[in-house]
Structure 1
Amino acid sequence: MKVVVTGVKGQLGHDLEKQLTARNHQVFGIDRNELDITDEAKVQAYFDEVKPDAILHCAAFTNVDAAEEDKETAYNVNALGPKYLAQAANKVGAKMVYVSTDYVFDGTATEPYEVEHPTNPLGVYGETKFAGEEFLKQNLDRYFIVRTAWVFGINGNNFVKTMLRLAEDRNELGVVHDQVGSPTYTVDLARFIIDLVESEKYGVYHATNEGVCSWYDFAVEIFKQAGVDIKVNPLTSDQFPRPAARPNYSVLSKKKITEQGFTLLPDWHEALSAYLKELKG
């Protein structure tokens, strides 16, 4: 397949490009320097030229707090960008994967969110990502929406790298314990997304590593596996105020993955272990 990957310099885009190449697909990796996805004419011109079989759309405005201040940019990138890509995909006959987020939910659930659960974003980031989902559905029949959460990978910043960096000059840290979800290793997520795009099993999916933890639990396990001796104190979200509200409960049900005959992602403890090995190189 001829595949375009947007956001190729990000965590997920990097691993998608690597694994697609390993599976002998022809990859066109682009970031904002190669194509401004908020420019409708440029998007259409690019895809008319490349004529891919599939688009894996990873590019996004992901700074949750900054999105509250800059709603226009967040909307242009997270909503209009996917719209233009979906229109271009429809015109050239390509299928498309749109990577979405647990932030489309409000985090008030007490059991894992199913793919059809009503959405209710708490802030601009979630609102604009959900708008992108809707534009995709309106403009394309052959689509996959993959909602994920708590992503970490080799290429870019993430919670694991932040914890390890902070531990270099501290002997004590505070981490919130009242936000619960599932970490997601981009190597595992990329494998699932490629399995998906190689199929015709269209629709909405939830994909994270297996298992559930709080950010506090995640931090404790990071230090344990990395052999770092540091005291981690549990904080409430109120003790760590941020401009944008975070969902307290972000656990996503992966029932659809199993129902459609795909392989679940490994447990997050295993994923973290593999990632720490990758970081060491």
Structure 2
Amino acid sequence: MKILLTGANGFVGARIRAAAPVICAPSLRGAEKEDIDRLIDTVQPDAILHTAAISDIGACAKDPEGSYHANVLVPEYLAKAANGAKLVLFSSDQVYSGAKGDKPFTEDDVATANLYAEEKLEMENRVLAIDPNAVMLRATWMYDMPMFGVPNRSNLITMFLNAAITQKPLALSKEEFRGITYVREVAEQTLQAVNLPGGAYNFGSEADVSMYALAELFMKKTGMKLNLQEKSGGENLWMNCAKLKNAGGGFETTAEGLATCIEDYNLSLLGQ
């Protein structure tokens, strides 16, 4: 299968590129419909994995025109140009940023609370109207150790490591639950997502423990000490991934994924 990958130098795209042979698209920043048409005509892919986006919530708010182009219009151009190629596009768990409830959110529980979330939801609706067979992956916050030659964003594992090194107080809540996913598992599952029926899927680890408990797990698995402090409250951003599981996909839980990451990088050696 000939796979075209966008965002190949990004946090997710770089891991997909390392996991499988793909054709890496050039940067689509500022690309217009004619540019996308030309790219698809040249590559003639069987599948398109679209990971490129402006995902920083603050950056979207500061540049709404630029973020709308990247997060809504470029995916729409891809859908119009796909010519039968299977489309797999990254959306976000931020589409639940305004949702409330004491149970993980299903795909029907959307409620947006920021511009980025609104753009992602509009993108889903526009693309699915063009191509009902397209797959929308509502991805969680992701983490990994730094990858050589690729910009690394602050994430769960680097937050814990920095806290262990500096011993600065780390305040987390026993009441806050959030699905957080090991990005290498995301890369593997994204390559399999070309087999999913069209539609939106909650895509990532389910939150089985609180943020505070995750920090405790990190200390237990690595032997490192954190200056861990408890804070009250916190917003839950958790998803029910039954739809994905029923379609043959699925992830380790947040706690299981963190344990796998620690084992993959032998981080327990740092605590000795």
Give the TM-score normalised by structure 2.
Answer: 0.86
Equivalent of residue 160 in structure 2, options 138, 163, 166: 163
Check whether the contact 1:216–1:234 (CA below 8 A) recurs between aligned residues: yes
1:131 counterpart letter in structure 2: E
Q: Does the 8 Å CA contact 2:209/2:254 hold for their aligned counterparts?
A: no
> Contact 1:9/1:31 (CA < 8 Å) preserved in 2?
no
Aligned equivalents of 1:139, 1:209: Cα separation in 2: 29
1:275 counterpart residue number? 261
1:184-240 alpha-carbon deviations (Å, 9 max, x no partner)? 11222222222220x2522221122244333333333233323211221133578xx
1:194 matched to 2:167: no
Write out aligned runs for 1:126-141 (5 A). 126-141=117-132
Question: Which letter maps to 1:250?
Answer: L
Secondary structure of 1:181 counterpart:
coil
How far apart in 1 are the matches of 2:99 and 2:236? 4
Given that residues 78 and 131 in structure 1 are in contact (C-alpha distance below 8 angstroms), is that contact kept between their aligned partners in structure 2?
A: no
Which of 132, 151, 154 is residue 142 of structure 2 equivalent to? 151
1:265 maps to: 251
Q: Which amino acid aligns with 1:216?
A: Y
Match of 2:24 among 29, 40, 59: 29
**1:212 equivalent in structure 2:** 208
Which residue is equivalent to 1:76? 69
Q: How many Å apart are 1:146 and its aligned residue? A: 1.1
Residue correspondences, number: 260
Report the alpha carbon displacement of residue 83 of structure 1 after superposing the two structures with TM: 0.9
CA distance in 2, matches of 1:252, 1:209: 8
**Structure 1: tracts of 5 or more residues without a match:** 22-26, 239-247
1:272 is paired with a residue of what secondary structure? helix
Q: Give the Å deviation of 1:126.
A: 0.6
Structure 2 partner of 1:243: none
8 A contact 2:177–2:207 mirrored in 1: no
1:120 aligns with 2:115: no
Counterpart Cα distance in 2 of 1:163 and 1:7: 27
User: In the alignment, which residue of structure 1 is the partner of 2:15?
Assistant: 15
DSSP-derived class of the 2:165 partner = coil
CA distance in 2, matches of 1:179, 1:38: 39
- Indicate yes or no: 2:248 matched with 1:252: no
Does residue 48 of the first structure (1) align with residue 41 of the second (2)? yes
Instruction: Deviation per CA, 1:24-73: give whole Å up to 9, x if none.
Output: xxx112352xx336422211111111110111111111112222222222
Distance 2:76 2:167 in 1: 45
Query: Is the Cα contact below 8 Å between 2:206 and 2:239 reproduced in 1?
Result: no
Q: CA deviation at 1:145?
A: 0.7
Q: Cα deviations across residues 67-116 of structure 1 (Å, max 9, x unaligned)?
A: 22222222111111211111111xx3211111111111213122121122
Report if the CA contact (8 A) 1:37-1:85 is conserved.
no
1:131 Cα deviation from its structure 2 partner: 1.5
- CA 1:201–1:254 in 2, change beyond 3 Å: closer, same or farther? same
Alignment partner, residue 270 of structure 2: none
Q: Tell me what 1:245 maps to.
A: none
**Identity over aligned pairs, percent:** 24
Deviation at 1:20, TM superposition (A): 2.6
**8 Å contact 2:132–2:199 — kept in the other structure?**
no
1:221 aligns with 2:217: yes
Given that 1:164 and 1:223 are in contact with CA atoms closer than 8 Å, whether structure 2 keeps it comes out as: no
Residues 1:161 and 1:43: Cα distance change in structure 2 (over 3 Å):
same
Match of 1:98 in 2: 89
Cα distance in 2, alignment partners of residues 116 and 276 from structure 1: 34
Secondary structure of the residue aligned to 1:146 is strand
Structure 1 pair 166–70 and aligned structure 2 pair: CA distance change class (3 A): farther
* Residue in structure 2 matching 1:88, options 81, 88, 98: 81
Counterpart of 1:56 in 2: which secondary structure?
Answer: strand
1:200/1:110 CA distance change after superposition, 3 Å: closer
- SS of the equivalent of 1:5 reads strand
Amino acid at match of 2:122: A
